[in-house]
Amino acid sequence: MEYRNLIAGDWVAAGAGVPNVNPSDISDILGHAAQAGEAELDAAIAAAHDAAPGWAASTPQQRFDVLDFIGTELLARRDELGHLLAREEGKTLPEGVGEVARAGQIFKFFAGEALRQTGDILPSVRPGIGVEVTRGPVGVVGLITPWNFPIAIPAWKVAPALAHGNAVVLKPAELVPGCAHALAEIISRSGLPAGVFNLVLGRGSQLGPQLIADPRVNAISFTGSVPTGRGIAGECGARMKKVQLEMGGKNPMVVLDDADLDIAVEACLNGAFFSTGQRCTASSRLIVTEGIHDRFVAALTERMQALRVGHALEAGTQIGPVVDARQLDQDLDYVRIAREEGGEVIGGVRLERPTEGFFMAPALVTGTTADMRINREEVFGPVASVLRVADYDEALAAANDTEFGLSAGICTQSLKHATHFKAHSQAGMVMVNLPTAGVDYHVPFGGTKGSSFGSREQGRHAAEFYTTVKTAYTGA
């Protein structure tokens, strides 16, 4: 399979094809991805720039029809595309199918949003004057997406961009060209005018700076690492360019003495280890009060060690491989560092399986302190640390003791503590008796502090980024 760039409605090959490797079986090559260079990216931006005025003038019905077509096909092909996703990125097959279904639902939601364009008609404070407040598209939007949700995250950026009348240049992560190509192929048959959506494949370090610097690109939405995000923020700020960033997390899950133990263990098991822990909303810090600590650690350890780690497409697999060798090395390095700093590590070793892949046993690090690197830095793998605290007040302080603020959770049967935590947790999303990972597509997604910058993604709040507000005055 050859994955090509989609530029101005044409499939364009470029550069030496880079192999797309299955992390469950490195002998399995899914295909080869074209590598866009400066010329291809320039052509994609030019195509979007030329197509933007026409799409901005499209009717709500035209936008609905396009987005509804995409959503309908994604839902109809969820099993096929979920298989591709699991093979390419390493999620288990059920997780891959679920992600494709979510992408379809996102496009369906924003098809509806295209019909729900709203504004305000107001009387002026001056006599004889009318005021209209409307929203219009930003123009050309550059979208830079990560590898861990290779269909869902592009969907939640592309869908609102198109729904609100923008033209798009999508630059997906180089590890997952297959999913991006499959989505682009569906979009290419949706009735969207050529040039409104463009796909460029290649390394972010090469294409990102050009995409950000080009004056024809009016806004950048990025999901990825903190260092890259901070760099993008600086570049966009210097150019007065609209920017939206979703970055890292070091998400706390508080477990209080009064928690239902089974609920707490299942929430932490899911949040910390499912999707191989490769979620920015993963529960990486488990903050547990003294009265339940030992029982919780024993129960979670038993459940964690029983998880089946294996080939993403194999029936019964609960945890798939880490995405690639570089990420696996990073995960194992953090396990080593945690042990050297005094933590007790359960699991966290590389595993051998019938196929050669990047398999790792989930790791639980106990006996940690707040200053350890395992409690300060994002690992982005199946690794969770446990921090013992005295009571709720200490737990809340520990939960907020981080430069990040994406998601936070608490397991408790106390309405008082749950209510207080929701109000005082310094996170953009708060879960009570639920995993920190796992969100709905029709409500805002985003965090505080170092996790996010700019307006929220998803739901109706997506309009804040993908539109500009115009106020018009008319004299009688």
Q: pLDDT tens across 160-173, in order? A: 999 999 999 999 99
Instruction: Please give the Cα distance from 88 to 151 (Å, whole number).
Output: 11
Instruction: Please give the Cα distance from 263 to 270 (Å, whole number).
Output: 11
Task: Please provide residue 66's backbone torsions phi and psi, each rounded to the nearest 5 degrees.
Answer: -65, -50
| Mean of per-residue pLDDT scores for the chain | 97
Banded pLDDT at 15 (limits 50, 70, 90): confident
Q: Is 271 helix (H, G, I), strand (E, B) or coil?
A: helix
Q: Which helix (H) or strand (E) holds 120?
A: strand 120-123
- Catalytic, out of 40, 113, 174, 246: 246
Q: Is 57 helix (H, G, I), strand (E, B) or coil?
A: coil
323: Cβ contacts below 8 Å, ≥ 6 apart:
23, 89, 90, 147, 148, 175, 276, 278, 358
Is there a catalytic annotation at residue 246?
yes
Banded pLDDT at 465 (limits 50, 70, 90): very high
Query: What's the sign of the alpha-carbon dihedral 461, 465, 466, 471?
Result: positive
**What is the DSSP track for 368-389?**
--TTSGGGTS---SSEEEEEEE
Per-residue pLDDT, 88 = 98
pTM recorded for the entire structure: 0.96
Average pLDDT for 61-65: 98
Average pLDDT for 56-64: 98
Average pLDDT for 96-115: 98
Q: Secondary structure of 278-346 in the HEC alphabet? A: CCCCCEEEEEEEHHHHHHHHHHHHHHHHCCCECCCCCCCCCECCCCCHHHHHHHHHHHHHHHHCCCEEE
Banded pLDDT at 117 (limits 50, 70, 90): very high
Banded pLDDT at 476 (limits 50, 70, 90): confident
Q: Which helix (H) or strand (E) holds 255?
A: strand 251-255
Banded pLDDT at 16 (limits 50, 70, 90): confident
Average pLDDT for 309-328: 98
Banded pLDDT at 2 (limits 50, 70, 90): very high
Average pLDDT for 124-146: 97
Per-residue pLDDT, 62 = 98
Instruction: Please give the Cα distance from 201 to 174 (Å, whole number).
Output: 7
Banded pLDDT at 124 (limits 50, 70, 90): very high
Cβ contact 257:291 at 8 Å: yes
Is there a catalytic annotation at residue 280?
yes
- Catalytic, out of 95, 280, 411, 457: 280
205: Cβ contacts below 8 Å, ≥ 6 apart:
none
Nearest residue to 158 (alpha-carbon basis) of 35, 90, 71: 71
Query: What's the sign of the alpha-carbon dihedral 290, 292, 295, 300?
Result: negative
Per-residue pLDDT, 14 = 83
Whether the per-residue pLDDT at 147 is higher than 90: the answer is: yes
Task: Please provide residue 47's backbone torsions phi and psi, each rounded to the nearest 5 degrees.
Answer: -65, -45
Q: pLDDT tens across 243-289, in order? A: 999 999 999 999 999 999 999 999 999 999 999 999 999 999 999 99
Per-residue pLDDT, 223 = 98
Q: Which helix (H) or strand (E) holds 210?
A: helix 204-213
